[in-house]
Amino acid sequence: MVKIVDGIHALETFAQTALVVDSHLILIDTGVDSKATDLLKALKRIGYQPRDIEFIVITHTHPDHVGGLKTMVEKTEAVVAAHEIEIPYITRKERYPGPPGPQRHEPVDVNHVLKDSDKFEGLLVIYTPGHTPGSIALLAEEKSVLIAGDSVQNEGGLQPMDDRYNINPEQHRESIKKLAQFEFEHLIPGHGRPVIGGASQKLKELARKL
Cβ nearer to Zn ion, comparing 12 with 150: 150
| Residue 12 binds to Zn ion (criterion: CB under 5 A) | no
Which part of the chain contacts Zn ion (CB under 5 A), choosing from 58-66, 73-81, 105-113, 119-127?
58-66
Find the shortest distance in angstroms from Cβ 197 to Zn ion. 25
Which part of the chain contacts Zn ion (CB under 5 A), choosing from 83-91, 108-116, 150-158, 168-176?
150-158
Do residues 57 and 83 touch, judged by C-beta distance below 8 A?
no
Cβ nearer to Zn ion, comparing 25 with 148: 148
Q: What's the number of CA atoms in the CB half-sphere (13 Å) around residue 166? A: 23
Which part of the chain contacts Zn ion (CB under 5 A), choosing from 67-75, 121-129, 145-153, 194-202?
145-153
Which part of the chain contacts Zn ion (CB under 5 A), choosing from 48-56, 70-78, 142-150, 192-200?
142-150
Interface size with Zn ion, residues (CB under 5 A):
2
Q: Which residues contact 48 (CB under 8 A, 6 or more apart)?
A: 21, 25
Do residues 171 and 131 touch, judged by C-beta distance below 8 A?
no
| Residue 150 binds to Zn ion (criterion: CB under 5 A) | yes
| Residue 143 binds to Zn ion (criterion: CB under 5 A) | no
The residue ranges of DSSP E strands in the chain, in sequence order, are 2-5, 8-12, 16-21, 25-28, 53-57, 79-83, 112-114, 119-120, 123-127, 136-140, 145-149, 186-189
Find the shortest distance in angstroms from Cβ 65 to Zn ion. 6
| Residue 105 binds to Zn ion (criterion: CB under 5 A) | no
Find the shortest distance in angstroms from Cβ 34 to Zn ion. 17
Cβ nearer to Zn ion, comparing 50 with 134: 134
| Residue 62 binds to Zn ion (criterion: CB under 5 A) | yes
| Buried-exposed string 168-201: b where 16+ CB fall within 10 A, e elsewhere | bbeebbebbebbbebebbbbbbbbbbbbeeebbe
Q: Which residues contact 34 (CB under 8 A, 6 or more apart)?
A: 67, 68, 70, 71, 105, 106
List contacts with Zn ion (CB under 5 A): 62, 150
